[in-house]
């Protein structure tokens, strides 16, 4: 299918937006939702017992946006339970799991709905996210690090299975619009998985229903060292426990290939050590524990960090771990990097790029 059409208004979007002490950012997040040319039917804000001025700000915004509904938790229940509570009251055909400190780009919802209506068998739509430092606003990078396709495409389940061998982080929840029935069929958000609940769910949906992807910037993801996911990632005990739990659930779930659990675990170990190094954490015992490293890795990293200090040492240590874990194929990362450079060059020249315009039936 090669043409687009305006999405039908019956295709409603419900936004579930948990908030906990994000008064500094919530106005930006909600403003971006209502700036969409296909605005959400409802925005369900679940305030998780905030102690700052969040609620006052949200109530003030709701005065001009009557489709905002506010659910207030009497005590702090955590992100996943807040998401589940909001999802339980959502009525839209599509669900967007928002974050109070992130924001989306104009045109995201209309583009996502167009693709999902073109391929209704798809469980979700996802695009690209720009990573920014939450405090300074500095651009950090782009995700996914390996694009699943270089043009808007529907990627069927059989291709998702094959693609897991080269990467598995194509879907960021903040850049995704999920079919409500696919979310329900996938079992919803598993509270036991904590900060990885959404990562597990979107992988399962992709493997069972396939998904739509476009190499288009649709969201900004703010990175904070104090965020729940980062805190868990940098805690050797909690990170290891969550990794083992996720690995066990993946191994038991028939939606996932039998070989994937071990591959997932290795990627988690690499990611945990990389995050630690990027945060300036060069404590060898911490890095060893996060990555469950062997004696050779420990000796090499200790030598690297002793010889090269600061940024160069951390990058060199990360490069060694990449070679050891081989979480992704280097040529796939290079292809994505070069594609983004080319796309940026073409956009600056205002030259139409067929790479970014027409959808195809499946990934290359």
pLDDT in tens, 257-311: 999 999 999 999 999 998 888 877 667 888 889 999 988 988 999 899 888 878 8
Q: Tell me how many helices (H) and strands (E) the chain has.
A: 14, 10
Per the DSSP assignment, residues forming a β-bridge with 284 are none
Q: Tell me the pLDDT of the chain averaged across its residues.
A: 91
CB atoms within 10 A of CB 3: 8
Residue with tokens 């996502």: 112
pLDDT for the residue numbered 157: 98
**Angle, helix 295-307 to helix 284-291, in steps of 10 degrees:** 140
pLDDT value of position 4: 46
Contact 260/162 with Cβ under 8 angstroms?
A: no
Q: Quick one: DSSP state of residue 8?
A: P
* Pair 128, 215: CB distance under 8 Å: yes
Q: Measured between alpha carbons, how far is 46 from 61 in angstroms, rounded to an integer? A: 14
Looking at residue 240, what is its pLDDT?
Answer: 94
> Cα(242)–Cα(157) distance, rounded to whole angstroms?
26
pLDDT at residue number 7: 52
Residues of the chain with pLDDT under 50: 1-5, 351-360, 363-364
Structural domains in the chain plus CATH codes: 13-224 (3.90.550.10), 245-325 (no CATH)
Give the pTM: 0.90
């Amino acid at each position: 299918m090669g043409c687009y059409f305006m999405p039908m208004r019956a295709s409603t979007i419900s936004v579930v937006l948990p908030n906990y002490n994000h008064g500094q950012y919530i106005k930006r997040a909600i403003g971006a939702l209502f700036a969409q040319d296909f605005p959400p039917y409802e925005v369900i804000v679940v305030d998780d017992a905030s102690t700052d001025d969040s609620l006052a700000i949200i109530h003030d915004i709701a005065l001009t946006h009557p489709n905002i509904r506010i659910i207030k938790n009497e005590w702090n229940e955590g992100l996943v339970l807040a998401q589940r509570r909001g999802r339980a009251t959502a009525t839209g055909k599509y669900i967007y799991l928002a974050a109070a400190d992130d924001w989306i780009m104009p045109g995201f919802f209309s583009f996502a709905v167009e693709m999902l209506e073109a391929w209704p068998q798809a469980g979700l739509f996802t695009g690209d996210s720009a990573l920014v430092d939450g405090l300074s606003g500095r651009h950090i990078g782009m995700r996914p690090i390996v694009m699943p396709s270089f043009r808007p495409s529907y990627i069927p389940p059989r291709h998702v299975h094959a693609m897991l061998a080269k990467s598995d982080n194509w879907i960021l929840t903040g850049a995704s619009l999920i079919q409500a029935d696919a979310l329900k069929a996938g079992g919803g958000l598993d509270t036991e998985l904590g900060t990885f609940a959404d990562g597990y769910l979107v992988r399962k949906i992709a493997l069972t229903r396939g998904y739509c992807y476009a190499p288009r910037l649709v969201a900004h993801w703010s990175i904070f060292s104090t965020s729940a996911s980062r805190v868990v990632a940098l805690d050797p005990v909690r990170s290891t426990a969550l990794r083992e739990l996720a690995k066990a659930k993946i191994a038991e779930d028939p939606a996932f290939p039998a070989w994937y659990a071990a591959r997932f675990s290795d990627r988690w170990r690499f990611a945990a050590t990389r995050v630690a190094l990027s945060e300036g954490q060069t404590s060898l015992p911490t890095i060893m524990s996060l990555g469950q490293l062997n004696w050779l890795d420990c000796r090499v990293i200790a030598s690297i960090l002793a010889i090269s200090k600061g940024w160069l040492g951390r990058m060199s240590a990360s490069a060694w771990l990449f070679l050891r874990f081989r979480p992704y194929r280097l040529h796939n990362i290079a292809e994505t990097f070069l594609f983004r450079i080319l796309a940026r060059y073409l956009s600056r020249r205002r030259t139409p790029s067929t790479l970014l315009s027409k959808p195809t039936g499946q990934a290359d």
